[in-house]
Amino acid sequence: MSKQIQDAYIVAATRTPIGKSGRGVFRQMRSDDLLITAVQAALAQVPGLDPKAIEDAIIGCSFPEAQQGMNMARIAMKLAGLPDSVGGVTINRFCASGLTAIQMAADRIRVGEAEVMIAGGAESMSLVPMGGNNPSFNPRVFEGDENVGIAYGMGLTAEKVAQQWKVSREDQDAFALQSHQRAIAAQKAGEFADETCPVDVAQRTPDLATGTVHVTTHRVTQDEGARADTTLEALARLRPVFATPKDPTGKATGMGSVTAGNSSQTSDGAGALILASEKAVKQFGLTPLARFVSFASRGVPPEIMGIGPIEAIPAALRVAGLGLDAMDWIELNEAFAAQSLAVIRTCGLNPAKVNPNGGAIALGHPLGATGAIRAATTIHALRRHNLKYGMVTMCVGTGQGSAGIFERV
């Protein structure tokens, strides 16, 4: 089927808080456990839904191996208490994995193959590092210059974008500061309350004297990345950590401009959404939060992967039959300040509509979960502020960009 025959509605959307990888609240927590919490919270939002009506679960993960391997989606659905009839598949489009999962679930409904689907994403960058446990590129990547960008570190791609799009260090740091300030203001205003589900983290402490283990539980309710004490002066003191850019002749052009302060935080987190057809909405008495409108993914040169949304955004708008001015809320994943500013300036995005509650520089970027997390943010923000259209967009490692559009109903 090449044409949509029915709409797909989001009837539940939630996410866990986002923790700092390596040293944060979820550093010892498996991503599938975070996903289970998010799925159960999403199901709690639709008490009238018969779980047996759920066709499948599509879950995004950027590095589906080790603790995130073994088809995490299927296992998590079982451990979340769903019946055997609910399937599960884990998919990977790096940073757009969670958004792609939503698109795939929506399309199953839109062409009439399913009535109810679960979509989401999960990632533990504490337990499974960037690149995976044993990165191994195909040797052919290095045989010619045309493909070597696939192996570039993400920071190096941001340096290349900063150089080619002329994004200054000062502008990058100012953008990073704004991300933290907006996130702190949003937390204080309770902006994330509707979209965030609490996570109980168990800590086990052995008592050597008695041979027993004491278990204490800490409830996490808020993202931990945003910093109220961030200043331009503090950001300016951070050293570039990725590269010293060179001009086409190979001559060094000076120190780089991408730092830990104007880059996204590595993080742990999960998000889950439930999508349903109009038939299922009526059958189970569900309340649609939003309608899935369109999705587009486009490829760009891997060495400047950060500009991916420049290609994906117009494509998603064309499919939706909408203009950029129709977008009331835009979640642009802040992989780096350099690429975020390049996208905003090139596409002519209204800065006031982009990441009003802060972005990944402050809130974190748990890779495969980010698309689902930012979709939950967008959907609840549209309802909370009585807005009509929202967009989620991001760049993708190895040179891609993705964008998805939602409509409040």
pLDDT in tens, 232-241: 999 999 999 8
Which pLDDT does position 203 carry in this prediction? 85
Nearest CA to 326 out of 293, 304, 300 is that of: 293
Catalytic residue among 61, 95, 197, 347: 95
> Quick check: 119 and 58 in contact, CB under 8 A?
yes
* CA 238/CA 245 separation, integer angstroms: 17
How many other CB atoms are found less than 10 A from the CB of residue 390?
Answer: 28
- Cα 134 to chain centroid, rounded: 23
Mean pLDDT across 8-35? 98
User: Of the listed 61, 197, 347, 365, which one is catalytic?
Assistant: 365
pLDDT value of residue 1 = 42
Averaged over 24-43, what is the pLDDT? 98
In the predicted model, is pLDDT for residue 294 greater than 70? Answer: yes
Mean pLDDT on 77-89: 98
Is 395 among the residues known to form the active site?
yes
The mean per-residue pLDDT over the stretch 27-39 comes to 98
Rounded to an integer, what distance in angstroms lies between the CA atom of residue 290 and that of residue 281?
A: 12
- Angstrom distance (rounded) from CA 145 to CA 230: 40
Least confident of 2-11, 165-174, 302-311, 399-408: 2-11
Reading the block at residue 125, the tokens are 């960058």
What percentage of the chain carries pLDDT values higher than 90?
A: 88
Mean pLDDT of 206-216: 86
How many Å from the N-terminal Cα to the C-terminal Cα in the chain?
A: 26
Condensed to tens digits (0 to 9), the pLDDT of residues 241-257 reads 886 656 566 665 557 99
Q: What is the DSSP string of 153-194?
A: -HHHHHHHHHHHTT--HHHHHHHHHHHHHHHHHHHHHTTTTT
What would the mean pLDDT of 74-94 be, rounded to a whole number?
98
95 is catalytic: yes
Side-chain-side CA neighbours of residue 120 (13 Å): 35
- For the packed helices 72-79 and 31-44, what is the interaxial angle rounded to 10 degrees? 50
Q: Which residues of 354-387 are buried (b: 16+ CB within 10 A; e: fewer)?
A: bbbbbbbbbbbbbbbbbbbbbbbbbbbbbeeeeb
pLDDT in tens, 131-145: 998 888 999 999 988
pLDDT, one tens digit per residue, over 327-363 is 999 999 999 999 999 999 999 999 999 999 999 999 9
Count of beta carbons in the 10 Å neighbourhood of residue 183: 27
- Is 214 one of the annotated active-site residues of the chain? no
DSSP string for 27-65: TTS-HHHHHHHHHHHHHHT-TT--GGGEEEEEEE-SS-S
Q: What is the pLDDT of residue 144?
A: 83
Span 25-32, average pLDDT: 97
Enter the tokens of residue 279.
């038939």
Q: Could you give the CA distance from residue 268 to residue 236 in angstroms, rounded to a whole number?
A: 27
Per-residue model confidence (pLDDT) at position 4: 74
Buried-state track 211-246, b at ≥16 Cβ within 10 A, e below 16: eeeeeeeeebeebbbbeeebeeeebeebebebbebe
Distance CA 395, CA 268 (A): 19
Measured distance CA(306)–CA(295) in Å, rounded: 18
Please tell me which residue in 61, 197, 347, 395 is annotated as part of the active site.
395
- Residues present in the chain in total: 409
